[in-house]
A and B are shown apart, each in its own frame.
Chain A
C-alpha cells in the first residue's frame, strides 16, 4: 500500500436497463449495495461525491445531494462533478483527494442516469456558433465519428469487419455472465454481420446504446480500512483526468474539424489519458492484468488497447484474434461485457468500470474471473476534453 492509495471498501451497482425511472432510485440502490458490501453505515459516511446527470433537470446537476437527501441527510459534505463520460472518475478523484488530504476518512462515490420520457428535442432556431448544432445541420451524426475511426483502422492496420464483429462476440460472452449487464445474449459473428449498417463500416451491433444505471463505491483511508477489517481490500492507486494537449490529432465529436497542427504538433488525447495513471501508480502496461475500456464502438476497443500500450499501435486486432483479450487470455479487455452489454449511463459508467476491477481483484467475478488478477486499469473519454484512466491494485 502506497501513501497515495485509498481503499475500496465496498462497491455496488443497480443493473443497467431501460425503465425511465428516477435516476435517484438507481443511485440509492447502488449506494446501499456499496454500503452493505463495505459493512459501513450510511450515518458514518463523511463525504458524498456524486457524478452529475445533465438530462434530469436541477436534481441531476446536484446529483450527489439528491442521492444524499434520498438516503437521508446526515450532515456529510457533498460534491457533484460533471465531466461528461468521466464524471464518475472526477467524483472519485474528489473523494480520494479529500481522504488523502486527511479531511475525510470514508466517502460515498455515486453516479446514476436515466432516460427521461420524451427524449429532449433540440431547441428550434439557428445556432451557427454551437458546434453540436452545426454538425447535425450539415449531416454529421454521432456514429459518423466512430465509423471514421473504424475505417481508418481498416486502412492503416488492415483490421476487418470480422475483427470488429469478434469484439462484439467476445464482449457478449463476458456480459452473458454479468448480472448487472443490460444485454445478456450470446452473438455470433454472423449475427453482427447481419445487423443493419448504421455508418459504414459500423453496423448496429458495433455501436453501443444508452442505458439507465447506477454505480457506487465506498472508499476510505488506509487507517479506516484497518479499523473495519478491510486492510487488504483493493485500492485506487491512480486516477488520471487530464485534459487534451493542443493540437487535436483526430476529429472529435461534435467538431467539424481538428485543430491545425501547422504550428503546434498534433497529440493523441486518448493515448495521453493512461500516461499519468501509469506514472502515478508506478507501473507499466506489462503489469496490467485486465482492462475496462470505453467501447462506444467495437473498433474503438481496439484503439483503446493500443492507447493503453497493451500492444504496439496497429496490433490490437492480432491480440483479439489470438484470444488474448478474452477472459482466460493473456490480457482480458472488458471482462464486464463493456458498453456492448451495458450501454452507456454517463455518470455511472466510469464507476461501473471500477466496480468490475474491484470484483475481479477480490476474486469475486464468478464465471468472468480473470485468474490471478492483481492490477486493473480503466480508460474512457467523453466530449469537450473529458476523459479518465483509473488504476486499481489488489
Chain B
C-alpha cells in the first residue's frame, strides 16, 4: 500500500499494483457515477429514477482511448506545476462495463506520439509535482498500437 497522500480522498484505491477509481452505483437503477455521489442529499441523475441510495464500487481499471491530447502550457492554480514545467499527455478513456469516459493525465514519459484512439489503457497511480498521488492512464501491457 502506498504511504503517499492521495490528491483527492476516496477517489481511488491506494493499491499501487492494481488501483481502481471509486465510483457510485445507484441501488435502484444501477447507473454508475464518477466521482462518487457525496454530501447530504444524493439524487440519481437518471430522470426516470428517484433513487437516493448508492453503493461505492470499484470501477474498471482498464479501457480504450476515446481521445487524447496534452498540456503544453502550465495550467493555472490550483494546479501545482513542476519547475521547470514539463508538458504531459492527457487521455479520455472509455470504461466498458460502466460505459463512461474518464479523463486523466497519462503517465510520465508517454507523450501524444505514443497514443492512438482505441488503444488499451490501464489505471495507475503517480505523484503530482507536489507529491500527492493521482490516477493516471498508462498504455496497457501488450496494448495494440
Contact = CB atoms under 8 A, between A and B. Distances in A.
Interface in B103-123: 103-105, 112, 116-118
A197 B105 CA distance: 18
A81 B121 CA distance: 43
B92 interface: yes
A263 B31 contact: yes
Interface stretch (A126-134, A312-320, A350-358): A126-134
B41 interface: no
A155 B67 contact: yes
Given A128-B9, A246-B46, A257-B34, A139 B71 contact: yes
Given A129-B39, A148-B69, A136 B117 contact: no
Contacts of A266: 99
A155 to B, nearest CB: 4
A363 interface: no
B76 A201 contact: no
Interface residues of B, number: 47
Contact of A137 (B47, B67, B79): B79
A201 B102 CA distance: 20
Contacts of A258: 100-102
Interface string A123-162: 0001011000111111111011001111110011000000
Contacts of B101: 250-251, 257-258
A266 B73 CA distance: 32
Q: Is the interface of B mostly helix, strand, loop or mixed?
A: loop
A140 B128 CA distance: 13
Given A139-B79, A260-B32, A263-B30, A246 B72 contact: no
B72 A201 contact: no
B78 A140 contact: no
A179 interface: no
A125 to B, nearest CB: 9
Contact of B30 (A122, A198, A262): A262
Contact of A152 (B31, B48, B66, B72): B66
Contact of B73 (A121, A152, A156, A198): A198
A70 B38 CA distance: 44
B77 interface: yes
A136 B90 contact: no
Given A257-B103, A262-B97, A155 B117 contact: yes
A151 B33 contact: no
Contacts of B142: none
Interface in A16-59: none
A199 B31 contact: no
B7 interface: yes
A246 B69 contact: no
A202 B69 CA distance: 9
Contacts of B66: 148, 152
A341 to B, nearest CB: 23
Interface in B60-77: 66-73, 75-77
A147 B69 contact: yes
Interface string B1-23: 00000011100000000000000
Nearest to A121: B77
B58 interface: no
Contacts of B116: 155
A141 B38 contact: no
A261 B99 CA distance: 5
B29 interface: yes
B78 A122 contact: yes
A264 B47 CA distance: 9
Nearest to B72: A197
Nearest to B81: A139
Interface in A251-281: 251, 256-264, 266
A121 B100 CA distance: 32
B98 A140 contact: no
B134 A138 contact: yes
B29 A263 contact: yes
A196 interface: yes
A200 B30 contact: no
Contacts of B134: 138
A199 B98 contact: no
B67 A148 contact: yes
29 contacts: A126-B78, A129-B38, A134-B8, A138-B104, A140-B75, A144-B69, A144-B71, A144-B90, A148-B69, A149-B67, A152-B67, A155-B116, A155-B118, A198-B73, A199-B70, A199-B72, A200-B70, A200-B112, A245-B47, A246-B47, A251-B92, A251-B101, A257-B35, A257-B101, A259-B33, A260-B33, A260-B98, A261-B100, A263-B46
Given A122-B76, A257-B102, 7 more contacts: A147-B70, A148-B66, A149-B67, A151-B68, A199-B69, A201-B69, A262-B99
Identify the 9 closest CB pairs spanning chains A and B, nearest first.
A155-B117, A147-B69, A260-B32, A148-B67, A152-B67, A260-B100, A262-B99, A261-B99, A257-B102
